[in-house]
Chains A and B, each alone.
Chain A
Amino acid sequence: MARKFFKSSETSIMINRYSWRELIGIYCGIAVFLFFMLAPFIEGFLVSLKPLAQLFSSPYSFWPENGSFEAYRTMWISVPSFGRYIFNSLLISVVSTIIVLILVVPAAYAFARFRFKGMALVLGAFLAVSMFSGAVLLIPLFRLMRTLGLLNTYYAMIVPGAAFLIPSAIWLLRTYMMRIPPELNEAAYMDGASQFYTFRRVILPIARPGIIVVAIMTFIGAYAQQFIFALTFNSKTEYMPLPVGLFAYFGKQEVIWNELMAASFVGIAPAMVIIFFLQRYLVGGLTAGAIKE
């Protein structure tokens, strides 16, 4: 995973060597790509530094004059419950991720290791389900939630969110687990280990990088999709997640753009910290030395 493509040292193998022309081309490509990805963020950040008046001045100045972090202070005053929205978002995403992991890890293992009737069918169904976004099924889901009495609770946002993330998570983790050599299961069986012991002591540790990838994907997925469910299944302000909370900056007369941008960055920060923390555990090559390939 930590493969270096641009090793200039002499130890780099032939296939990783590029001429200076190719290097320039590659970096230009990366720069263009990055620019498209990052431009909105850069502009957003610059906006958050400007006083509100400057945003509507013409001609529009891209760089902030006498910019300050004032918006990062006033945002908490304009929308006092913003902290609550961040907490809600994190809570919904974290709980969804935990639920997904608890269900998906054993399921992926079963799909990777065992053969059973109807397996292809179930896997195909998962794939089909993950092609729908939750949005398509909002109305039936709404009726379901109402019947179950889950409207206007945290569950209304957690349960459908987790449900829609499970299929793709199973596919992802199953692929990873299929790469764990089955000989390890046989060896553990020969050593007297039960299926569950083998799963806990052998498979889980080896699958850890895969599980973390799934955790990150699920967390991001839950973070991104929660606002659909929040808007539809929840009308209580105190349960609203961050994306909905950001609407609070849309005032009656005007939108407080600089505070909105500041709030967006502040709101993302905790999620970034969590993802950064998780990906430190992404170490490759965990199966090295298990079997002779």
Chain B
Amino acid sequence: MGQLSLKNVVKTFGDFEVVKGVSLDVHEGEFVVFVGPSGCGKSTLLRMVAGLEHTTSGDIVIDGKRVNDLAPVKRGIAMVFQSYALYPHMSVYENIAFPLRVEGAPAKEIRKKVEEAAAILHLENRLDQRPGNLSGGQRQRVAIGRAIVRQPEIFLFDEPLSNLDAALRADMRIELTRLHKQLGATMVYVTHDQVEAMTMADRIVVLNGGYIAQVGAPLTLYHKPENTFVAGFIGNPRMNFMPVNVLSVSDDGITVDFQGQSLTIDVDVPADRRAALVGSQVSLGVRPEHISLGAGDATMALTPTVVEHLGQLTIGYATLPGHEENFCFVLTGTQMIEDDRAVNVSFGAGDCHVFDADGQAFERKIDMSAMTPPVSL
């Protein structure tokens, strides 16, 4: 239990369409993360699933049942708010017990369940305190405790960690992943933080302006973004995009002319599109971390305007002629390069992405299983 489907869900506020037709299936026990730029409708979508906002059109289906008009409790859903939303006049115990008190559960059962939840969240010693006396991380745990006592099938989190400092956020991230494993419940999680998205998610849903830009496993999104939006959004710093002309298209991929060097990128191009593509302009995408010093498949001479030395990494920014955005490259280790001093950098054809004029990607023919050690979740 805990299977959630969105079917062409639309939400408008007055004339303003915020969510413009989202369809999505979330499997039982899955950890799905919504990411997207600010204002793209993530919270709105989550609040519709929660039952805090009406759905303008479309269906929300939980375990095969349309729940559009059901109250949140009847949906078997619990939500953790970004601002915690704890009841300030109640002790931690009463805060966690609140949903059970509403149900009118017997006192013995309440005690048992609250203590269970407190044990999971390491709050046993805090039960008598008021939320006002707790730290941010503890408050967030109380908020999660209030969500888990009712044993819902689906948990919704709206940026639950964004109010915490970096160290605490890392701890809570691990704790939430552990909680997900322990409870086995479906979780839908909204975040701004790429690291949270990449590390916690089974699947990431990238939203852009009320539409789903792509749904996929974190590494799929990283290695096979379907469009320039996802390519630019996932990965930090952003992917570099450069306009190039297509020389030829074959089974081996697209051959482009990059600053006088011909570069063959191994992507899948449907046979019927090949002819039209030759001679046209496409977008070549390469991630900053795939650029290295010295010569390679494609070499370019750059004069970085700013160089950032982080010790572990060296990050450079350069302006390309006729290009507004900075060209960014990330080198591992401490590299002795300076700003305003020309360097030669290069990248491999195997690391490149190609996008057509509409920003849609040609699928890269890479074998994900053969890549760098698999990340186990």
Contact = CB atoms under 8 A, between A and B. Distances in A.
Interface string A263-293: 0000000000000000000000111111110
A190 B156 CA distance: 11
Interface string B186-211: 00000000000000000000000000
Contacts of A184: 85, 87
A186 interface: yes
Interface string A187-198: 111111100010
Contacts of A197: 102
B52 A289 contact: no
Nearest to A204: B89
Interface residues of B, number: 33
A26 to B, nearest CB: 32
Interface in B134-149: 134, 136, 139, 146
Interface stretch (B55-63, B75-83, B365-373): B75-83
A286 B87 CA distance: 10
B83 A205 contact: no
A194 to B, nearest CB: 8
Contacts of A188: 87, 98, 102
A289 B85 contact: no
A83 to B, nearest CB: 40
Given A186-B52, A190-B79, A191-B73, A290 B102 contact: no
Interface stretch (B125-133, B258-266, B307-315, B352-360): B125-133
A206 B136 CA distance: 21
Contacts of B150: 191-192
Nearest to A191: B99
A183 interface: yes
Contacts of B89: 205-206, 286
Given A190-B52, A191-B150, A193-B102, A183 B73 contact: no
Contacts of B88: 206, 286-290
A190 B102 contact: no
A202 interface: yes
Contact of B87 (A189, A190, A285, A290): A290
B139 A187 contact: no
A293 to B, nearest CB: 8
A29 interface: no
B144 to A, nearest CB: 12
Contacts of A67: none
B73 A192 contact: yes
Contacts of A201: 98, 101
A289 B102 contact: no
Given A184-B85, A191-B102, A289 B146 contact: no
B71 to A, nearest CB: 7
Given A190-B52, A191-B99, A206-B89, 4 more contacts: A191-B73, A289-B133, A290-B84, A290-B85
Give 7 closest A-B pairs by Cβ, nearest first.
A289-B131, A288-B132, A289-B132, A192-B73, A291-B83, A183-B85, A187-B85
26 contacts: A181-B83, A183-B81, A184-B85, A184-B87, A187-B81, A187-B86, A188-B102, A190-B50, A190-B77, A191-B99, A191-B102, A192-B102, A192-B103, A193-B102, A201-B98, A201-B101, A206-B87, A288-B88, A289-B88, A289-B130, A289-B134, A290-B86, A290-B88, A290-B131, A291-B83, A292-B82
